[in-house]
Chain A
């Protein structure tokens, strides 16, 4: 009987230690939960809707095929569709390539895309330096809007980078991207003065690439 009691004592001790360990872990987790609740109370929270950053868009004309890559792009030479929509502020914006007699460059950008976040300031910088080809109608289309994603809202982002050209807010369904065969962000569509697609490019461009792309619109 005494030997059994002796054997039980270390077991009891071990059990107490284990209970203490689990109690400490539980207390740490509860403490973290309390700190997280207190720390995030009173913040602005996550925006609940992306509705204020999208607008309805009317597309006129045939949609361009999906961009397969720069080689043998089937959209080259095709008439670019017309987009009629609004800016973030609700002012009407119409992108009607060929209607002004100037070539057109349209940048489709997403606020959460790190490549767009890098490329847009380059375009702004080139524009400020006067290094962008003159006589080209430049537009940004804010698309892929997601209120849960980083760098929301896109209106604030474009304002903060000092985007100097007109901006169209895409519809929640991404009507503009579908009309222009968008395959990835950032997405640049170059259109000649007659309204036909000259080239499309998907992916981030350096300053030289941007200047070259727009330059090809005014050559010849």
Chain B
């Protein structure tokens, strides 16, 4: 790694980590408004306002989140030279098609195409969760050994005392899911 590229890695990883925190805040807020709305009218009203404001752009936002996740993962492997492990590849398999599918969904304004991404998102999120747990508790792997080439237990990035790469991926999957679920059955007419 050249010194110039090497010096960008801490900045890029901090940038991605901060975006993940924003994604997590958005997801927690969204879920809180949804659940709270079932009990408190104020939450319900706030939830409706947020949905009305976000709906027209939700698919484009979801596409941008997926694109940032893909570009971030490519930066980490191709520029920072963090070698992706098997579980990283499985998460990529789930994330990369979302860029194409959500772009088509956003252009065609299709709720059906957008909803079709949910199984991919769920699989990706499940793998991210398992990968994160494996990082935190390496003995879960059973063999208690590190693969010399690309072990899944290696923690390349550790930010804010809880964020690693799979945790960032999980934040991305969760925000994309939230945005896709925001899309109503009938999208407003485009001008």
Contact (Cβ within 8 A) B19 A29:
yes
Contact of B153 among A28, A114, A183, A202 (CB under 8 A): A114
Contact of B145 among A15, A22, A147, A202 (CB under 8 A): A202
Contact (Cβ within 8 A) A46 B154:
no
Interface residue total, chain B, C-beta cutoff 8 A: 38
Contact (Cβ within 8 A) A185 B158:
no
B4-12, B31-39, B103-111: which lies at the A interface?
Answer: B4-12
**A72 an interface residue at 8 Å Cβ cutoff?**
no
Contact (Cβ within 8 A) A115 B145:
yes
A32-40, A56-64, A83-91: which lies at the B interface?
Answer: A32-40
Contact of B15 among A11, A22, A33, A41 (CB under 8 A): A33
- Whole-angstrom distance from the CB of B121 to the nearest CB of chain A? 21
Contact of B7 among A46, A113, A202 (CB under 8 A): A46
A43-B10, A45-B10, A47-B6 known; A148+B1 contact, CB < 8 A: yes
Interfacial chain B residues near A46, Cβ < 8 Å? 1, 6-7, 9-10, 80
**Size bracket, chain A contacts:** 35 or more
B51-59, B88-96, B168-176: which lies at the A interface?
Answer: B51-59
Complex Cα gap A112–B156 (Å): 9
- Whole-angstrom distance from the CB of A36 to the nearest CB of chain B? 4
Contact (Cβ within 8 A) A22 B57:
yes
Contact (Cβ within 8 A) A48 B154:
no
**A166 an interface residue at 8 Å Cβ cutoff?**
no
A47-B6, A48-B2, A148-B9 known; A113+B146 contact, CB < 8 A: yes
Complex Cα gap A35–B15 (Å): 8
Complex Cα gap A85–B54 (Å): 63
Contact (Cβ within 8 A) B148 A115:
no
Contact (Cβ within 8 A) A45 B145:
no
A177 nearest in chain B by CB position: B148
A15 nearest in chain B by CB position: B191
**A182 an interface residue at 8 Å Cβ cutoff?**
yes
**B61 an interface residue at 8 Å Cβ cutoff?**
yes
Interfacial chain B residues near A77, Cβ < 8 Å? none
- Whole-angstrom distance from the CB of A200 to the nearest CB of chain B? 12
Interfacial chain A residues near B147, Cβ < 8 Å? 184
- Whole-angstrom distance from the CB of B149 to the nearest CB of chain A? 9
Contact of A35 among B2, B10, B18, B145 (CB under 8 A): B18
A25-B61, A48-B2, A116-B146 known; A149+B153 contact, CB < 8 A: no
Contact of B146 among A18, A114, A174, A177 (CB under 8 A): A114
Contact (Cβ within 8 A) A32 B1:
no
A32-B22, A150-B156, A182-B148 known; A18+B57 contact, CB < 8 A: yes
Contact of A148 among B56, B61, B156 (CB under 8 A): B156
Contact of B144 among A36, A39, A174, A203 (CB under 8 A): A203
